[in-house]
């Protein structure tokens, strides 16, 4: 009999990401994350998988540091990848260097010895390769104003030798998710990888004059012949605006030409195989009365003219990917509780939904255009490599045999789809995850989970908020997609825009009551939990209902007016909540703290969880919430992680997270006395 699923079993599962197909279509390479030997972090290696499923999967890289930061194929099948592994021909980094920089390595197509080809002192982040040449583009972290990579290295050494960690800021924002934007900033470089063992010449810096956020996390692509690069560049506008525009850079001269001009923001870019067009995701700038709208556009690289495609689908497109030629474009999108792959036939623009199950991403078209490979997960199964036909509508992808072994670990949960109709007639979808071992007569206690975002959806396997761990412990878990969820068309965003505790709250409560009406659910034992926006909803519910026996609130928003000034990019919230200096009413209206008196009256126990390194929802939100709870006599506990950010990423911390959450739920739903973890 197999062991029941648990956090320890989940940590044994391989975490697949970043799937790539070789130009000849004969090799798939995927990043596989596992717990490092010391158990204190996750480490990633690259594995090769046979697309035909005939050969066993084979590990390509092995290093203590792991491989992360991107990988891509050159036309001859050589694999470029980023890794912080030490170069055997270079002096080892200082012993106190806790975060060694990632260099770019090349692995020959025959699987010989990998060698470093570029080693910027600030590390490589993101690699793009051309289809028909050995030209590449990549990001690297460089000191502001440094003339070249050599000067960048000298500046960093001077700071290290002086023991200086101070930063001086002159622009905004100054933080992003979990780090401060300085003293280095991401700049883009172009280069050519030589044949054989020749060293690569110094790369060309495509734009040295940057603001602190210009290319942070920004996508880039390089033309098939390597003659130009297209990237998303962020520049400060009239405060609080920032402009996210597409820019074309000549790789020989560095000359820049802006393709868009502040009329919208852009994310994602893919240059067509003929080099004439760039496909991109365009999203309009929202206002407090008008939500943002995502569209897929084609931009003529000669004229700058734009053409919208796939608008009739009414979905938010992601990750445009060209087929073998310029007649077919693929994209993926959240889709009514799924995440589907779509095909667009050009020039007419006919759209076909190719998949109708699970969450499909990382699309890799075969060279002959007949097949697509990708990663697919579901609420109940982790990502796996799959294939499906490139033309047939509404398929269920087939798993590629001889893929990465999961070690025979059984998940064992039962996953069902639920719907409930709310007052305005909208159908609200949700997933219900139940224990597989429960007898038909047993009534399971229910845990409601609200997703983050809030522009998001429950449609895939989740490593952080995994309902299967709770189900294995005996809880049923409800995962609703209320107003502001993606995958249900623009109207679902319109219903919740600017009213975070309005329709999203009533939608969730309606679906909840539909779930507890089932014979297999114990409606008297119900808890709620959420992180980020889900944490906001947890706090909102604590002050608006006494329906729950307990609430878990992770990385949560509590006091929106103060949050505007402490989050990493407060002005972004003005697009939905307005200018707080001129009119703070929306921030106050939708702030959970305004219902503190009701929270104190309900006295629903709260487990507050937060990481010190979280800049998106700063620790100040949790500190204020905890102070208010103590002052007003609201019972609860506070689980604090000094070394985690918005997520809890380290394996041992994840174990503590789940053990504490399960103990808290057991205490209030099952009457089991709370037992503090021995490590706490």
Burial of 237 (0-12, 13-18, 19+ CB in 10 A): exposed
Span 414-670 CATH architecture: 3-Layer(aba) Sandwich (3.40)
**The total number of residues written for the chain in this structure:** 680
Greatest Cα pair distance in the chain: 73
Classify residue 287 by its DSSP letter.
Answer: B
Residue 63: pLDDT band with limits 50, 70, 90: confident
CB of 431 within 8 A of CB of 479? Answer: yes
Over residues 50-61, the mean pLDDT reads 94
Q: What is the reported pLDDT for 93?
A: 53
Write the pLDDT tens digit of every residue in 303-329: 999 999 999 999 999 999 999 999 999
Residue 402: pLDDT band with limits 50, 70, 90: confident
Question: pLDDT over 90 for what percent of the chain?
Answer: 85
User: What are the backbone dihedrals phi and psi of residue 472, each rounded to the nearest 5 degrees, phi first?
Assistant: -65, -20
User: Can you tell me the distance from the alpha carbon of 454 to that of 459, in angstroms, rounded to the nearest whole number?
Assistant: 14
Q: What is the reported pLDDT for 95?
A: 47
Determine the 3-state secondary structure of 231 from DSSP.
strand
Q: What is the reported pLDDT for 99?
A: 56
Question: pLDDT over 70 for what percent of the chain?
Answer: 97
Over residues 254-259, the mean pLDDT reads 94
In terms of Cα–Cα distance, which of 640, 618, 498 is closest to 568? 618
Write the pLDDT tens digit of every residue in 200-216: 889 999 987 777 788 88
Mean residue pLDDT across the chain: 94
Stretch (H or E) spanning 299: strand 294-300
CA distances from 271 to 145, 344, 368 (A): 30, 15, 19
Over residues 293-297, the mean pLDDT reads 96
Classify residue 171 by its DSSP letter.
Answer: S
CB of 520 within 8 A of CB of 476? Answer: yes
Write the pLDDT tens digit of every residue in 152-191: 999 999 999 999 999 999 888 999 999 999 999 999 999 9
- Cα radius of gyration (the chain): 25
User: What are the backbone dihedrals phi and psi of residue 89, each rounded to the nearest 5 degrees, phi first?
Assistant: -95, 5
Q: What is the reported pLDDT for 1?
A: 46
User: Can you tell me the distance from the alpha carbon of 47 to that of 106, in angstroms, rounded to the nearest whole number?
Assistant: 15
CA distances from 515 to 421, 442, 451, 525 (A): 12, 15, 17, 12
């Amino acid at each position: 009999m197999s062991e029941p699923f648990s956090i320890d079993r989940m940590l044994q599962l391989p975490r697949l990401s970043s799937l790539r197909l070789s130009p000849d279509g004969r090799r798939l390479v995927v990043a596989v994350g596992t717990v490092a030997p010391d158990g204190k972090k996750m480490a990633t290696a690259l594995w090769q998988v046979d697309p035909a499923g005939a050969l066993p999967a084979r590990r390509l890289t092995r290093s203590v540091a792991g491989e992360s930061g991107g990988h891509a194929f050159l036309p001859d099948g050589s694999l470029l990848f980023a890794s912080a592994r030490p170069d055997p021909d270079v002096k080892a980094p200082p012993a106190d260097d806790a975060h060694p920089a990632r260099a770019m390595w090349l692995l020959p197509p025959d699987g010989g010895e990998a060698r470093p080809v570029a080693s910027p002192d600030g590390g490589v982040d993101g690699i793009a390769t051309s289809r028909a040449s050995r030209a590449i583009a990549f990001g690297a972290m460089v000191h502001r104003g440094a003339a070249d990579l050599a000067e960048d290295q000298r500046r960093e050494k001077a700071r290290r030798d002086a023991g200086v960690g101070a930063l001086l800021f002159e622009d905004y924002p100054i933080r992003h998710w979990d780090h401060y934007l300085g003293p280095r900033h991401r700049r883009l470089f172009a280069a050519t990888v030589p044949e054989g063992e020749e060293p690569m010449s110094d790369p060309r810096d495509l734009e040295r004059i940057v603001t602190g956020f210009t290319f942070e996390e920004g996508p880039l692509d390089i033309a098939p012949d390597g003659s130009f690069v297209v990237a998303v560049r962020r520049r400060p506008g009239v405060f609080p605006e920032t402009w996210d525009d597409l820019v074309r850079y000549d790789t020989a001269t560095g000359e820049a030409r802006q393709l868009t001009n502040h009329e919208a923001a852009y994310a994602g870019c893919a240059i067509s195989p003929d080099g004439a067009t760039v496909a991109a995701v365009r999203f309009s700038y929202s206002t407090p009365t008008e939500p943002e709208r995502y569209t897929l556009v084609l931009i003529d690289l000669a004229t700058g003219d734009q053409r919208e495609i796939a608008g009739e689908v009414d979905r938010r497109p992601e990750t445009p990917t060209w087929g073998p030629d310029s007649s077919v474009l693929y994209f993926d999108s959240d889709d009514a509780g799924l995440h589907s792959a779509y095909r667009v036939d050009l020039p007419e623009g006919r759209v076909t939904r190719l998949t109708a199950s699970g969450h499909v991403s990382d699309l890799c078209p075969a060279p002959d255009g007949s097949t697509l490979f990708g990663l697919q997960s579901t609420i109940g199964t982790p990502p796996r490599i799959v294939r499906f036909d490139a033309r047939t509508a509404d398929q269920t992808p087939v798993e590629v045999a001889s893929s990465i072994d999961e070690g025979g670990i059984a998940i064992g949960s039962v996953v069902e789809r639920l719907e409930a109709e709310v007052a305005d007639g909208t159908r609200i979808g949700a997933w219900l995850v139940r224990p597989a071992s429960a007898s038909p007569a047993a009534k399971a206690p229910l845990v409601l989970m609200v997703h983050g975002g809030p522009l998001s959806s429950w449609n895939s396997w989740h490593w952080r908020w995994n309902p299967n761990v709770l189900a294995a412990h005996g809880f049923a878990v409800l995962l609703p997609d209320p107003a502001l969820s993606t995958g249900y068309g623009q109207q679902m965003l319109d219903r919740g825009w600017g009213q975070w505790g309005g329709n999203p709250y009533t939608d969730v409560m309606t679906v909840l009551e539909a779930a507890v009406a089932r014979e297999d659910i114990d409606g008297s034992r119900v808890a709620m939990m959420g992180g980020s926006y889900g944490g906001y909803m947890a706090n909102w519910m604590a002050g608006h209902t006494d329906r729950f026996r307990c609430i878990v609130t992770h990385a949560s928003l509590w006091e929106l007016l103060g949050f505007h000034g402490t989050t990493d990019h407060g002005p972004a919230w003005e697009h939905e909540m307005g200018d707080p200096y001129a009119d703070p009413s929306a921030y106050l209206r939708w702030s959970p703290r305004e219902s503190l008196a009701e929270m104190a009256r309900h006295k629903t126990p709260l487990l507050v969880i937060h990481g010190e390194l979280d800049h998106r929802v700063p620790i100040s939100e949790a500190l204020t919430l905890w102070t208010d709870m103590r002052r007003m006599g609201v019972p609860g506990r506070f689980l604090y992680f000094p070394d985690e950010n918005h997520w809890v990423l380290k394996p041992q911390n994840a174990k503590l997270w789940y053990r504490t959450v399960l103990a808290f739920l057991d205490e209030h739903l099952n009457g089991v006395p709370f037992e503090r973890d021995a490590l706490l």
